[in-house]
Amino acid sequence: MTMWIPNIEAASGPIYLAIADALEADITAGALAQGDRLPPQRELAYQLGVTLGTITRAYGEAERRRLVKGETGRGTYIASETQKVSPLVPKEDEPESCDLARNFAYPYLNPSLSEGLVRMAQTAGIDRLNGFVPSEGLMAHRETGVLVFKDYGLDADPARVAVTCGAQHGIQVTCQALFRTGDAIAVDWFTYPSIFSSFASLGLKAVPLPALRRDDGGFGAMDPAALAQAARTHAVKGVFLMPNMQNPTTHTMSVEEREGLVQVAREHDLKIVEDDPYTPFLPETLPAFGALAPERTASIASISKVCSPGSRIGFVQVPEPFGDSIRNKIGESTWMASPITAELIAGWVREGHLFKTLRLKRKANRDRFLRAKEHLSPYFLQGDANKVFGWLRLPVQVDPDALQAALGHQGVSVLSSRYFQIKDHAPAPYLRITFGSEESDERFSWALKRVKATIDQLADLPALTRPVG
């Protein structure tokens, strides 16, 4: 039986509907999965201090929504139909809300697609791209990857670079190439949400590790001592890191932090996977793990956040012994990344559009960060003007899931810390706020004010008391 207790403190309507809404939110967030058994109705009524009839109506409403199914003599279970699409995935017909949840990084400032396509149409020999190419991509497009990797502090070798269908595909094929089914991989305690599902689908085990703490109380790099301990006790074979603008904490590793983790990786023969989709936004270029430990590091780069998520183009560089394996894994998964969109990106890089777009986005982001800092004060927002999202520390009495749900009812979407943690851990008092998905400055400011006001409200609510007897 799952010890599930919904947070209904912010409920403004019928309690039974609030319970059903909380159940649906926890299923969507991954806190409850297919087959999980819910508490008996009488026990949940006691825990919440409501009548048995209220819980009966709530479970009935959940069953009407096909969230749960009741089995006579066995209880109530999460139904198989509830495996829903992640809220991070855009929907064509979704209701309008102010999006502070998804990290799209100012898509309205991306280069003109129509101008790019006109330029491509006028390129001599363009028809050659309308056929099969090697799984690792054409040399001209791999050389574009080399130029992109320079912004990541890595002098890449085009012979070791492969073109992928974005960074997510790059993570999957890289992990397939470097690891075997059943291997344990160290990850940050808070990390990129898709890592958990990606690892599970590949038969890999994620081992979350704590971070060092900074002088300001924020999160630093993964604790190298914890990584060494995990290598000894969990037999981890590798580590997944986001050295620049870690998602979601925003931390950028110092050179000393990088060198400390490299030392542990060498001592315990760990492979390193570094994923850095936000690096180009940073003004300072720090050495990549691929430069510090090239013999054991696979590096992943993407321009989706910079100028073109629709192109689905990313780049990977792996240690030389894994070159054939990465080519095979790309071929097995999708044969090749599209050479047509790879050429579109190559043109934008050659013509300087990447730099121009970054300049516009950096300027916009500076303004958005300052607005967020002002409107969310006095709550601590980890990040800075070069980070395209912030990690907001909540009062300890504020449940981040309840806050996310309450804001959702007000037309503001945010992400609870739950999305960035392994499923069986209680959510920590943090919220990720993205700066660049909402185009309107006025709506962005309005949403931040709603976030602040709702936190204040939830922080002041008295705790629920259990019934006596």
pLDDT recorded at residue 25: 83
Tell me the mean pLDDT in the region 27-47: 84
Query: Does the structure show a pLDDT above 60 at 469?
Result: no
Measuring CA to CA, which residue among 87, 188, 98, 191 is closest to residue 435? 98
Taking all residues of the chain, what is their mean pLDDT, rounded to a whole number?
89
pLDDT recorded at residue 450: 97
pLDDT recorded at residue 239: 98
**Contact predicate 14/50, CB 8 Å:** no
Tell me the mean pLDDT in the region 32-58: 87
pLDDT recorded at residue 465: 38
Structure tokens of 18?
């609030």
For residues 68 and 72, give the distance between their C-alpha atoms in angstroms, rounded to a whole number.
Answer: 13
pLDDT recorded at residue 292: 97
pLDDT recorded at residue 72: 60
In terms of residues, how long is the chain? 469
CATH fold of 113-351: Aspartate Aminotransferase; domain 2 (3.40.640)
pLDDT band at 76 (very low <50, low <70, confident <90, very high): confident
Structure tokens of 368?
């958005």
What are the pLDDT digits (tens) for 210-241?
999 999 999 999 999 999 999 999 999 999 99
Domain ranges of the chain: 15-82, 98-103+356-460, 113-351
∠ CA 234-195-25 to the nearest 5 degrees?
Answer: 115
What are the pLDDT digits (tens) for 415-446?
999 999 987 677 899 999 999 999 999 999 99
Cβ count near 97 (within 10 Å) = 16
**Contact predicate 176/322, CB 8 Å:** no
Query: Does the structure show a pLDDT above 70 at 464?
Result: no
Sign of CA dihedral 368, 370, 372, 375: negative
Q: Is 334 exposed, middle or buried (0-12, 13-18, 19+ CB in 10 A)?
A: middle
Tell me the mean pLDDT in the region 403-426: 88
| 70-79, 296-305, 450-459, 460-469: the lowest-pLDDT one | 460-469
For residues 311 and 237, give the distance between their C-alpha atoms in angstroms, rounded to a whole number.
Answer: 33
pLDDT recorded at residue 82: 44
Structure tokens of 344?
């579109």
Residue type, 207: V
For residues 429 and 412, give the distance between their C-alpha atoms in angstroms, rounded to a whole number.
Answer: 18
- What predicted TM-score, i.e. pTM, was given to this entire model? 0.80
Which 3 state secondary structure label does DSSP give 272?
A: strand
Sign of CA dihedral 152, 153, 159, 160: negative
For residues 95 and 411, give the distance between their C-alpha atoms in angstroms, rounded to a whole number.
Answer: 9
pLDDT band at 86 (very low <50, low <70, confident <90, very high): low
Residues 178, 183, 189, 195: what is their CA dihedral angle, to the nearest 10 degrees? Answer: 60
Residue that the structure tokens 């394996």 belong to: 325
Contacts of 179 (CB under 8 A, 6+ apart): 185, 202, 204, 237, 238, 271
- Of the two residues 74 and 286, the one the predictor is more confident about is 286
CATH number given to 15-82: 1.10.10.10
Phi and psi, residue 79, nearest 5° = -80, 155
**Contact predicate 226/203, CB 8 Å:** no
Domain 98-103+356-460 has CATH 3.90.1150.10: yes
